[in-house]
């Protein structure tokens, strides 16, 4: 009987240690701590969806520092100033116009950690080029020709690809760890897609591909005559370099919102969870469900948390104790 009891204790200890090892490594890149008194509420959306700085802010104020929300900071990538790239400059356009265009796409479609696959719609460069005087028509009218001249050159493509890969690698090292997996999954899908390039009609509307990067690859193949073998080699090189990145010490969520040191929300790219410190229980949510507000309630039976939000546009209200046991 003593042996059996000892075995039960050991088993419970292993389970508890396992639970601890699973949850203690969970953390967010941006950490917030809030203390709520009985009856107080916290709105979550302003925390996880902070307002973005318009990408064009530095364009209309010459000399202003690059925006913190820009996907590409031109000052961080001096190789774009290579002689080969500068050889394609015109009186109206240069490589920084390509950066401006890319940042406008990123801002308008929220490309980055939360979404690496925007829809396939081609962005109109008209809306990327303006200053305090208005639209810069000389850049707008010359951009398409400049853009295609760059991508028709093997030497320029190589420099642009290597620089783009460096940017993605940098993001993998600075974002939470799940970003790396998202990029690798998309690269695998793009590699598979390249096998169908020769079978897709040249008149295909790339909007129908439902993936901006598939549309980008298809346009480079059709409009700029980039060989399929070069596209595939580039993707494979990207896979190899990104797989080698060590993200084991990176946070696994973008936001960590701790409330009363009892429950914590962790927001990652594909889901978010509510975690109880006392029970180690977690409740996962997909982004079809939006928890808009959490309210703290306390009485002589314990501490409780009321969640209100929407699920596919339908409103809900849930009540949990601090151990995340649902109160029916």
Q: What is the pLDDT along the chain (328 residues), one digit of tens a residue?
A: 444 444 444 443 433 333 333 444 479 999 999 999 999 999 999 999 887 666 555 554 444 455 555 666 666 566 677 899 999 999 999 998 998 898 888 877 778 899 888 777 778 888 889 887 889 999 999 999 999 999 999 999 999 999 999 999 999 999 999 999 999 999 999 999 999 999 999 999 888 888 999 999 999 999 999 999 999 999 999 999 999 999 999 999 999 999 999 999 999 998 999 999 999 999 999 999 999 999 999 999 999 999 999 998 899 999 999 999 999 8
At residue 132, the pLDDT reads 79
Torsional class of 312: left (φ above 0), alpha (ψ -120 to 50), beta (otherwise): left
Beta-bridge mates of residue 264: 258, 275
Task: Give the up-direction half-sphere exposure of residue 65: CA atoms within 13 A in the CB hemisphere.
Answer: 5
Length of the chain: 328
At residue 103, the pLDDT reads 84
State the Cα–Cα distance between residues 285 and 267, nearest whole angstrom: 10
At residue 76, the pLDDT reads 59
State the Cα–Cα distance between residues 239 and 189, nearest whole angstrom: 11
At residue 328, the pLDDT reads 81
At residue 137, the pLDDT reads 94
Other CB atoms within 10 Å distance of the CB of residue 230: 15
At residue 71, the pLDDT reads 65
> Tokens 């760059």 label which residue?
150
At residue 110, the pLDDT reads 75
State the Cα–Cα distance between residues 17 and 230, nearest whole angstrom: 49
pTM above 0.85, yes or no: no
Q: 4 phi and psi, to 5 degrees?
A: -65, -40
């Amino acid at each position: 009987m003593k042996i059996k009891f000892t075995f039960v204790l050991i088993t419970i200890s292993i389970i508890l240690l396992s639970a601890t090892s699973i949850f203690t490594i969970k953390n967010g890149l941006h950490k917030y701590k809030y203390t709520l008194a009985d009856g107080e509420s916290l709105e979550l959306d302003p925390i996880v969806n902070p307002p973005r700085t318009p990408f064009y802010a530095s364009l209309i104020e010459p000399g202003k520092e690059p925006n913190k929300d820009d996907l590409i900071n031109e000052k961080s990538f001096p190789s774009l100033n290579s002689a080969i790239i500068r050889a394609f400059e015109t009186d109206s356009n240069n490589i920084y116009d390509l950066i401006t265009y890319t940042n406008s796409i990123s801002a308008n479609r929220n490309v980055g950690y939360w979404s690496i696959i925007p829809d396939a719609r081609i962005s109109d460069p008209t809306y990327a080029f303006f200053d305090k005087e208005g639209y810069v028509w000389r850049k707008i009218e010359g951009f398409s020709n400049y853009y295609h001249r760059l991508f028709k050159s093997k030497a320029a493509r190589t420099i642009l690809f290597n620089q783009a890969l460096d940017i993605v690698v940098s993001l993998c090292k600075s974002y939470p760890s799940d970003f790396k997996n998202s990029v690798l999954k998309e690269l695998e899908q793009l590699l598979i897609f390249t096998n169908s390039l020769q079978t897709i009609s040249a008149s295909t509307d790339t909007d129908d591909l439902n993936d901006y990067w598939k549309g980008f690859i298809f346009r480079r193949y059709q409009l700029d005559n980039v060989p399929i073998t070069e596209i595939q080699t580039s993707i494979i090189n990207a896979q190899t370099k990104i797989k080698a990145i060590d993200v084991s010490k990176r946070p696994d969520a973008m936001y960590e919102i701790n409330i009363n040191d009892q429950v914590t929300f962790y927001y990652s790219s594909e889901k978010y969870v509510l975690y109880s410190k006392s029970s180690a229980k977690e409740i996962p949510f997909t982004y079809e469900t939006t928890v808009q507000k959490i309210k703290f309630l306390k009485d002589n039976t314990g501490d409780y948390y009321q969640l209100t939000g929407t699920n596919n546009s339908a409103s809900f209200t849930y009540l949990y104790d601090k151990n995340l046991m649902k109160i029916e």
